[in-house]
Chains A and B, each alone.
Chain A
Amino acid sequence: GQQLNQSPQSMFIQEGEDVSMNCTSSSIFNTWLWYKQDPGEGPVLLIALYKAGELTSNGRLTAQFGTTRKDSFLNISASIPSDVGIYFCAGQNTGNNRKLIWGLGTSLAVNP
């Protein structure tokens, strides 16, 4: 099925560093969502974006809805060990029965 291009696929960083990841699509989306999945658990919603250009923060996390409506970015500042996990982006294309389209995830490892 259709998928988003999410990059990077994996990251290994030092504690305290900032992290950036992004998702791009060939389609326009009306909604962008960012989720985090810890091992053995289901994805947990981090940030939801509903408007082009929107910039939203959740603690050390900041996400932006790209102005072209075809991309989104997630930044994590001052990473800590519990940031380890897989981060997924998801976009909603209202022209596709409103199904969510998912990226393949960015696996983040943090070295204490």
Chain B
Amino acid sequence: KAGVTQTPRYLIKTRGQQVTLSCSPISGHRSVSWYQQTPGQGLQFLFEYFSETQRNKGNFPGRFSGRQFSNSRSEMNVSTLELGDSALYLCASSLEEGAFNSPLHFGNGTRLTVT
């Protein structure tokens, strides 16, 4: 069974640009969550999507947005990039929403560098 696939693996952008990251969940998984990982802050929850609806949201500004398609694939978008947005962005899928009794399975992430 294929794991969670994230593309691209690496991105370099400049301040002010926008970026779109893609995530394909494990087949059959309907929930997709996005996390930002930085050395000092650990894993910070961005949002969770289930059945094409955002079910949960972390404490990030509106520049961070996402969506989920009918095939459960998900994208996240960051507009007006700032230097502090440089991080590893991780996508995780689970069978059901909320990860209760349905642990998260992570992709290998997209490393975003903002210059």
8 A-B pairs with CB atoms under 8 Å apart are: A31-B99, A31-B101, A45-B104, A45-B105, A98-B56, A100-B104, A102-B43, A103-B42
- Near B by CB (< 8 A), chain A positions 14-65 give 30-31, 33, 35, 40-45, 48, 50
Q: Determine how close the nearest CB of chain B comes to the CB of A56; give it in whole angstroms.
A: 13
Decide if A1 is an interface residue (CB 8 Å cutoff).
yes
| A44 CA to B58 CA, complexed, in Å | 22
| A104 CA to B101 CA, complexed, in Å | 23
- Near B by CB (< 8 A), chain A positions 62-87 give none
Contact A42 B107 (CB under 8 A): yes
Number of A-B contacts (CB under 8 A): 57
Q: Which range holds the interface residue count of chain B?
A: 20 to 34
Closest to A96 in B: B56
Closest to A48 in B: B103
| A97 CA to B47 CA, complexed, in Å | 12
The secondary-structure label for the interface of chain A is: loop
Interface string of B38-50 (1 = CB under 8 A from A): 0001111100000
| A44 CA to B106 CA, complexed, in Å | 7
Contact A98 B107 (CB under 8 A): no
| A31 CA to B102 CA, complexed, in Å | 10
Contact A92 B99 (CB under 8 A): yes
Contact B109 A42 (CB under 8 A): yes
Q: Which residues from chain A contact B4 at a C-beta distance below 8 Å?
A: 42
Q: Shortest 6 CB-CB distances between A and B: which pairs? A: A42-B106, A98-B98, A104-B42, A102-B43, A42-B108, A43-B106
Asked, given contacts A40-B108, A41-B108, A45-B105, whether A94 binds B42 with beta carbons under 8 Å apart, the answer is no
Q: Determine how close the nearest CB of chain B comes to the CB of A89; give it in whole angstroms.
A: 11
Q: Which of B59, B90, B104, B107 contacts A1 (CB 8 A)?
A: B59
| A35 CA to B90 CA, complexed, in Å | 14
Decide if A3 is an interface residue (CB 8 Å cutoff).
yes
Contact A1 B43 (CB under 8 A): no
- Near A by CB (< 8 A), chain B positions 68-110 give 90, 92, 97-101, 103-109
- Near A by CB (< 8 A), chain B positions 12-62 give 41-45, 56, 58-59
Contact B90 A99 (CB under 8 A): no
